[in-house]
Structure 1
Amino acid sequence: MRKLQSAHGGKDGGTRSGNIEEDDVNLQITRKLEEKIKKAGGKVILTRSEDKDLASEQTDNRKKEDMKKRMEIMNGEQVDVFLSIHLNAYPDTNVKGAQVFYKADDQMSETFAKIVQKHLKQATGSGMEIKKGDYYILNNAKNIGILVECGFLSNPDDRDNLVKKSYQEKIAQALYDSIREYFRILDE
């Protein structure tokens, strides 16, 4: 069972550039990847399938409850690996490229991150390298997983590409190929 997290959603749109919101692009890439995995006979658990967060309406802290519920799904027994799909932004608009983050001191997640970064470099030309990530999602993960920044909305070239269906398809294919390679290695 694979687990895909389309980051943000609902009132938390993530980073934005003009009328382009991170959560919308994340979900489009996630749905393309989900389709590929299911077509190959795999199973997928999504944290969201529409523009909604996981918090209840009466909560005092939507972000905290949303993250807690996402972690419950991601740490579930049926999850083999998880991918948390995001877009990045940075004050220096020259910074661009897809980048993968993994939990420190987690060798399996680091191995998975290396495979994903390799495929993203081949597909998108990204010059980025994997990094240890100090993120709530990674720090609280019990299962193998990574956080994937598919590109920078703050960079004009990345932004133009990220809204194109063909480029989203390219990223989804790179993620799918990475998952297949990772599980082939485990089976050896």
Structure 2
Amino acid sequence: MNEKTVNPVLKQVLELGPTVIFFLIYLRIKDEVYTFGGTDYSGFIVATIVFVPILLLAMGALWILTGKLSRIQVFTACMVIFFGALTAWFNDERFFKMKTSIVNGLFAVILGIGLLRGKSLLQYVMGDMIPMEQEGWMILTKRLAFGFAVLAMANEVVWRTMSTDAWVKIETFAFPAALFLFLWAQIVMLQKYVIEPDGPNP
């Protein structure tokens, strides 16, 4: 299916909305305890369980509207489903918290394996979005692999040493903002490698 044109605001809402909804639900029920089948579940775990179908609905809508989903989106969704299921099954919020560490760690490892083979797997995923010379892609991949590794370690520190409330806020706002700013800074610094589209013929 070919990619379709979609309102960019709506696209952003579908991409970021589930995380914001999870945050709002968590704030609303964080101090509550719910009993299902004789087992008590914290508000955090209930919010996690609710988050999974909301994410799937948003991704389904995004696929219908745009005609495609990125490999990163699909992979992240699979991780959310897997660790959300473990969180619910074992009634243990640590599984969902460590998801961020594992996902970012896997991104760092995957990019690192590509670099060891002399390839930029980032270019394979984002090459259509950012036309850039091979050297630029290699530099960006090295830096982003390092960035993902730092985020994975930071998440481990946060969820192991801070409260659930602090982790939810940092996971929802601080980590995405840090990644966005890091990516933006790298693109700015690597402008000399960006391939400009050909101008009109004389």
Higher strand share: 1
The structure having more radius of gyration, on CA atoms, is 2
Q: Do the structures match in fold with TM over 0.5?
A: no
Taking structure 1 as the reference length, the TM-score comes to 0.36
Taking structure 2 as the reference length, the TM-score comes to 0.34
Higher helix share: 2
